[in-house]
Structure 1
Amino acid sequence: MSFRSILRFVVLFSFAFVPMVASAQQKGATVQGTVADPDEAVIPGATVTLTPASGKPLVTQSQSDGTYVFHNVPAGSYSETVTMQGFASFVKLGVKINPSQSLTLDAKMDIQAQQQEVQVTAQTAQVSVDADSNASSTVIKGKDLDALSDDPDELSSELTALAGPSAGPNGGQIYVDGFTGGQLPPKSSIREIRINQNPFSAEYDRLGYGRVQIFTKPGTDKLHGFFQMSGNNSSFNTGNPLLNANLSPGQSAITQPPYHTIFMFGDVSGPLSSNSSFTLDGSHRSIQDNSIVNATVLEDAQHLCTAGQTFCSYQFANPTPNVRTDISPRVDLQLGEKNTLTTRFRYEQSDMSNQGIGNLSLPSTGYNSSSSEATLQMTDTQVVNSRVINETRFEYERDHSSQTPLSTAPTITVQGNFVGGGSNSGSNSDNQTHFELHNYTSIQLKKNFIRMGGRLRSTRDSQTSSAGSNGSFIYNCLLTTNCPVGGSSYDSGQASQFKITKIIHPSVNATMVDLGVYAEDDWKPIQNLTLSYGIRYETQSDIGDHHDIAPRLSFAYGLGSGKNAAKTVLRGGFGLFYDRFQLDNILTTVQLNGTNQIQTTLAHPDSATCSPNNLSGCTAGTPGGSTTVAAAPNLRTPYSMEFAIGADQQLFRNATMSVNYLNTRGVHQFLSQNVNSPTGVDANGNFIYPIEPAAGEAPVIRQQYQSEGVYRQNELIANLNIRERAFSLFGYYVLNFAKSDTGGITSFPSQPYNIGADYGRAVFDRRNRLFLGGNFSLPYHISLSPFIVASSGTPYNVTLGRDLNGDSEFNDRPAFATSSNEPGASTIPGCGSFITPAAGQARIPINYCTGPALFVTNLRISKTFGFGPSTEQKGQGSSGPGDHGHGDHGGGHGGFGGSSRTDKKYNLTFSTQVQNLFNNADYATPNATMTSQTLFGKSTQLAGNPYTSSSALRRISLNMSFNF
Structure 2
Amino acid sequence: MESSRTLKFFLFFLIALASLEGRAQQPAGASVHGVVTDPDGAVIPGTTVTLTPVKGKAGVVQSGNDGAYTITGVAPGVYSVTATTTGFATFVRQGVRVTAGQSLVLDVKMALQVESQEVQVTAQSQQVSVDADSNASSTVIKGKDLDALSDDPDELSSELSALAGPAAGPSGGQIYVDGFTGGQLPPKSSIREIRINQNPFSAQYDKLGYGRVEVFTKPGTDKYHGNYSIQGGDKSFNTSNPFLGQSNNQPDYHTVFMIGSISGPINRFSSFTVGGSHRNIQDNSIVNPGGYYASSADATTPCLPGDRTCTYYSSYPEAARAVPHPQTRSDISPRVDFALGDKNTLTVRYQYYVNGIQNNGIGNTNLPTAGYNSEATEHTVQISDTQIVSSHVINETRFEYQREYSTQDPLSTDPALSVQGIFTAGGSSLGTQRSTSNHIEVQNYTSIALEKHFLRLGGRLRTTGESLTSTQNSNGTFTYSYLLDPCTDSNPSITKPSNCAPNVTTPCDQANAGISSYQCGTPGQYAITQINKPTVHARLTDVGLYAEDDWKPKQNLTISFGLRYEAQNVINSAHDVAPRVSFAWGIPRGKGKSPTTVVRGGYGIFYDRFSLDNYVNTLQLDGSAQVRSTFINPGSSCGPLTSQDCGSSTPSRATIYTMGNSIRSSYTLQAALGIDQQLGRAGTISVNYLNARGVHEYLSRNFFDAATPGTPYNYQFQSGGVYRQNQLMVNGNARVRMVNLFGFYALSFADANTSGATFFPTSNTDTRVDYGRATFARRQFAVVGGSMQLRYGITASPFVIAQAGTPYNITSGLDPFGSSIYNARPYFVNGDRGNCANSADFSATQTGSLAPVPIDYCTGPVNATINLRIAKVFGFGERTGAAATSGDSGQNRRGNRGGGSGGGSRGGSGGGPMGMGGANSGRRYSFTLGAQALNLFNMVPYGTPTSSLSSPRFGQFTTLATGPFSSQTAVRRIMLQASFNF
For the superposition of Structure 1 and Structure 2, which TM-score range results when normalised by the shorter chain?
over 0.9
The one of 859, 868, 892 equivalent to 1:859 is: 868
* Partner amino acid, structure 2, of 1:121: V
Report the CA distance shift for 1:207/1:831 in structure 2 as closer, same or farther (over 3 A): farther
TM-score, normalising length from structure 2? 0.91
* Partner amino acid, structure 2, of 1:288: Q
Contact 2:393 2:449 in 1 (8 A): yes
* Partner amino acid, structure 1, of 2:278: H
Report the CA distance shift for 1:145/1:879 in structure 2 as closer, same or farther (over 3 A): farther
Report the CA distance shift for 1:659/1:738 in structure 2 as closer, same or farther (over 3 A): same
> Are residue 941 (structure 1) and residue 953 (structure 2) matched?
no
Matches within 5 A, 1:26-425: 26=26, 27-112=28-113, 114=115, 117=117, 119-122=119-122, 124-244=125-245, 253=247, 255-300=249-294, 304-305=298-299, 309-314=311-316, 316-425=321-430
Contact 2:909 2:917 in 1 (8 A): no
Q: Which moved more, 1:838-847 or 1:337-346?
A: 838-847
Residue by residue, what CA displacement relative to the aligned partner does 1:829-879 show, whole Å, maximum 9, x if unpaired?
489921124256431111001000011100000000000011111239996
Q: Which moved more, 1:24-33 or 1:706-715?
A: 24-33
Aligned to 1:959: 977
Contact 2:190 2:274 in 1 (8 A): no
* Partner amino acid, structure 2, of 1:126: Q
Aligned to 1:682: none
* Partner amino acid, structure 2, of 1:836: A
**1:232: how far off?**
1.7
Residue by residue, what CA displacement relative to the aligned partner does 1:799-831 show, whole Å, maximum 9, x if unpaired?
1000112222111111112299xxxx9953489
Report the CA distance shift for 1:493/1:391 in structure 2 as closer, same or farther (over 3 A): same
Contact 2:260 2:276 in 1 (8 A): yes
d(CA) in 1 for partners of 2:5 and 2:341? 42
Contact 1:496 1:604 in 2 (8 A): yes
Report the CA distance shift for 1:57/1:826 in structure 2 as closer, same or farther (over 3 A): closer
Contact 2:220 2:906 in 1 (8 A): no
Aligned to 2:713: 701
Report the CA distance shift for 1:118/1:582 in structure 2 as closer, same or farther (over 3 A): closer
> Are residue 455 (structure 1) and residue 465 (structure 2) matched?
no
Residue by residue, what CA displacement relative to the aligned partner does 1:436-495 show, whole Å, maximum 9, x if unpaired?
111111111111111111111111100110001000000011778899779971000000
Q: Which moved more, 1:487-496 or 1:149-158?
A: 487-496
Contact 2:196 2:214 in 1 (8 A): yes
d(CA) in 1 for partners of 2:483 and 2:316? 13
**1:407: how far off?**
0.4
d(CA) in 1 for partners of 2:86 and 2:479? 69
Aligned to 1:684: none
Secondary structure at the counterpart of residue 314 of structure 1: coil
d(CA) in 1 for partners of 2:237 and 2:804? 29
d(CA) in 2 for partners of 1:870 and 1:800? 70
Contact 2:380 2:401 in 1 (8 A): yes
d(CA) in 1 for partners of 2:901 and 2:374? 37
The alignment-based identity, stated in percent, is 51
Report the CA distance shift for 1:43/1:311 in structure 2 as closer, same or farther (over 3 A): closer
Aligned to 1:773: 785
Aligned to 2:499: none
* Partner amino acid, structure 1, of 2:213: V
Matches within 5 A, 1:497-646: 497-560=525-588, 561-608=590-637, 610-619=638-647, 623-646=651-674
* Partner amino acid, structure 1, of 2:852: R
Residue by residue, what CA displacement relative to the aligned partner does 1:764-798 show, whole Å, maximum 9, x if unpaired?
12111111111001243310000011110000111
Report the CA distance shift for 1:567/1:831 in structure 2 as closer, same or farther (over 3 A): farther
Aligned to 1:249: none
Contact 2:219 2:906 in 1 (8 A): no
Report the CA distance shift for 1:15/1:277 in structure 2 as closer, same or farther (over 3 A): closer
**1:23: how far off?**
2.5
Residue by residue, what CA displacement relative to the aligned partner does 1:398-435 show, whole Å, maximum 9, x if unpaired?
11011110100110000000000000000011000111
**1:654: how far off?**
3.4
**1:85: how far off?**
5.0
d(CA) in 1 for partners of 2:183 and 2:131? 30
Aligned to 2:496: none
Secondary structure at the counterpart of residue 800 of structure 1: coil
d(CA) in 2 for partners of 1:844 and 1:830? 14
The one of 923, 926, 934 equivalent to 2:942 is: 923
Report the CA distance shift for 1:509/1:14 in structure 2 as closer, same or farther (over 3 A): same
Secondary structure at the counterpart of residue 22 of structure 1: helix
d(CA) in 2 for partners of 1:899 and 1:533? 38
Matches within 5 A, 1:467-866: 467-477=472-482, 489-560=517-588, 561-608=590-637, 610-619=638-647, 623-676=651-704, 678=706, 688=707, 692-693=708-709, 698-818=710-830, 828-829=836-837, 833-838=841-846, 841-866=850-875
**1:349: how far off?**
1.6
> Are residue 20 (structure 1) and residue 18 (structure 2) matched?
yes
* Partner amino acid, structure 2, of 1:913: Q
**1:41: how far off?**
4.0
**1:17: how far off?**
5.6
* Partner amino acid, structure 2, of 1:951: T
Contact 1:119 1:781 in 2 (8 A): no
Residue by residue, what CA displacement relative to the aligned partner does 1:366-417 show, whole Å, maximum 9, x if unpaired?
0111111111111111111111111111111111011110100110000000
Contact 1:443 1:451 in 2 (8 A): yes
Q: Which moved more, 1:45-54 or 1:749-758?
A: 45-54
d(CA) in 1 for partners of 2:533 and 2:825? 38
* Partner amino acid, structure 2, of 1:922: P
> Are residue 875 (structure 1) and residue 885 (structure 2) matched?
yes
Report the CA distance shift for 1:51/1:312 in structure 2 as closer, same or farther (over 3 A): closer
Contact 1:64 1:126 in 2 (8 A): no
Q: Which moved more, 1:43-52 or 1:396-405?
A: 43-52
> Are residue 903 (structure 1) and residue 908 (structure 2) matched?
no
The one of 886, 891, 900 equivalent to 2:899 is: 886
Contact 1:677 1:752 in 2 (8 A): no
Contact 2:831 2:851 in 1 (8 A): no
Residue by residue, what CA displacement relative to the aligned partner does 1:261-312 show, whole Å, maximum 9, x if unpaired?
1111111111111101111222111011111111110014996339995434
> Are residue 445 (structure 1) and residue 473 (structure 2) matched?
no
Contact 1:142 1:893 in 2 (8 A): no
d(CA) in 2 for partners of 1:46 and 1:301? 73
Secondary structure at the counterpart of residue 442 of structure 1: strand
Q: Which moved more, 1:747-756 or 1:218-227?
A: 747-756
Contact 1:338 1:384 in 2 (8 A): yes
**1:351: how far off?**
1.4
d(CA) in 2 for partners of 1:454 and 1:558? 32
> Are residue 912 (structure 1) and residue 931 (structure 2) matched?
yes
d(CA) in 2 for partners of 1:950 and 1:344? 35
| Structure 1 runs not aligned, ≥5 long | 246-252, 679-687
d(CA) in 1 for partners of 2:528 and 2:282? 34
d(CA) in 2 for partners of 1:256 and 1:367? 21
**1:559: how far off?**
0.2
**1:883: how far off?**
5.7
TM-score, normalising length from structure 1? 0.93
| Structure 2 runs not aligned, ≥5 long | 301-308, 486-506
Contact 1:826 1:835 in 2 (8 A): no
Contact 1:174 1:181 in 2 (8 A): yes
**1:928: how far off?**
0.7
Report the CA distance shift for 1:472/1:879 in structure 2 as closer, same or farther (over 3 A): farther
